[in-house]
Structure 1
Amino acid sequence: MKKKKLNTLFSIREDIPKSWYFAGIIFTFIFFFAAWNVLSLMKLVDEVFLPTPVEVLATLLQSLADSDYWGEIGISVYRVFMGFLLACIIGIPLGIMAGTFKFAESFILPMSEFIRYMPAAAFIPLIMVWAGIGETAKILVIFIGCFFQLVLMVADDTNRISKDLLSASYTLGANRLQVITRVIIPAMLPKLLTTMRLIMGWAWTYLVVAELVAANSGLGYSIMKAQRFLDTESIFVGIIVIGLLGLIIDRCFAIANKKLFPWAEGGSN
């Protein structure tokens, strides 16, 4: 019996009992916080650099009880969503075009491949010249960090659609526009939602970079301000809050994918 259970546990891409899955999650978090406690309580790391989990939790609760901190959260959420939405509005149509027409691919993909290796932070001086130091500049940093990756991934999602499906639609009398709107786009929607889910994760990673642009509000600004005063608890709190917000949004995407496209492979991820 034990051997059978071990075989099940280490079977490639096979489901395991939910109780085992959740046990793995719980064990991981317990191990993480236990290691953190050992390092901080035994003074193996200076408390200035690694506060105890209790101190971080107390600071977190204190911050969440402050309405001003919720304002910082709201500002950061606004910046992330605006940069993400702008990238989607422009990038998704371009990605679909590049994945559908070879002539569009020749115009769009090489440049996107080239620019995506440039760090978004390197564009900050140019963005400040072009857009000033207001909200537009911060949104543009997130947009640049997401846009070129999104175009490439959407083009790849589009290109993965079987040519047999396209041939069948032509056989049934569909014209070029109908193939795009009724075959290609519906067929790629499950993968597109997964791609958007990944890009949203990147949008959150660019938040702190975006809030380096002459910011006086937001979670990234709070982290940088805490760093200047060696307020390590507040740094941890900012990182945890960003992680929790990203996790909540990620779960929303996963649930939407499961509900909208239950038949698609990976739709339940």
Structure 2
Amino acid sequence: MAKEEDELAALRARVSELERAAARPPRHRTRSTFAVVLIVLAALLTPLSAVAVWSHSFIGDTDRYVSTMAPLASDPDVQDAVADRVTTALMQQIDVDDLLSGVAPADRPRLEKALDAAGGPLTSGITSLVHGAAQRFVTSPAFATVWTQLNRVAHGAVDKALTGDGDGAVKVEDGMVTLDLAPVVDRVKDALVDDGLGLAGDIPEVHTSITLMQSTGALAQAKKGFRLLQLLSWVLPLLVVLLVVGGVLLAGRRRRALVTAALAVAAGALLLGLALWLSRAFYLDALPQDV
């Protein structure tokens, strides 16, 4: 009898111990919850971290900026916009009434031949001649070279547009970043002289521009945002790494947590790519009509 009583007491003690253990929440459950929170935060901060790093490196890297802008030199819309701007600027400097009287006798045959090919009234013929010269230049390899040079200069001004005041070939006025096309105008004037329009060589320096960026009323906010991104470009990546490491260390199953963290960060990067793809159409619609 005594033996049975001892066994019964031991059994009751074991049951009580199990009940107390069941009443206490496992410590690893709380740690796992914190691990999930940290990994989710890392995934959410990944897109912003990538944007911050990219913006800082892009604005600060002239070669990358130039390589990004270079393909625009072969874009027909950009070529047409530049040719139209240059044509308008030059025609404002040409006095059509005094044109033929001011042409040297040796140049008249070439000019008359060019005007005959253009056809139409004198003013229309001169406009067509100028536009044709501009169009030939913007579709030539020489334009790509000039475009690259201009954008290399423009890079410094765009940087200043976000960190200070723009100057030089690029101007920042009323929230618009414009590129001075004076070098293109000079090359078109040379082409016109070769076509027999010697008067083009007497045209003074002409400045006309094309809009690179339009942000009416928002440039000041863009400056503040860029300065913030400069700071976040190193803070956010570090924070993402720390969150991932913390989440993995707190997790009960660290190998699984590491795989989950990698997938979560990849999902954040994929979300950023999708957002950029969707926003591209809106960005193109917001560009000025002459770009």
Q: What TM-score results when the alignment is normalised by the length of structure 2?
A: 0.30
Greater Cα radius of gyration, structure 1 or 2: 2
Q: Which has the higher strand share?
A: 2
Q: What TM-score results when the alignment is normalised by the length of structure 1?
A: 0.32
Which structure has more RCO (C-alpha within 8 Å, separation ≥ 6)? 2
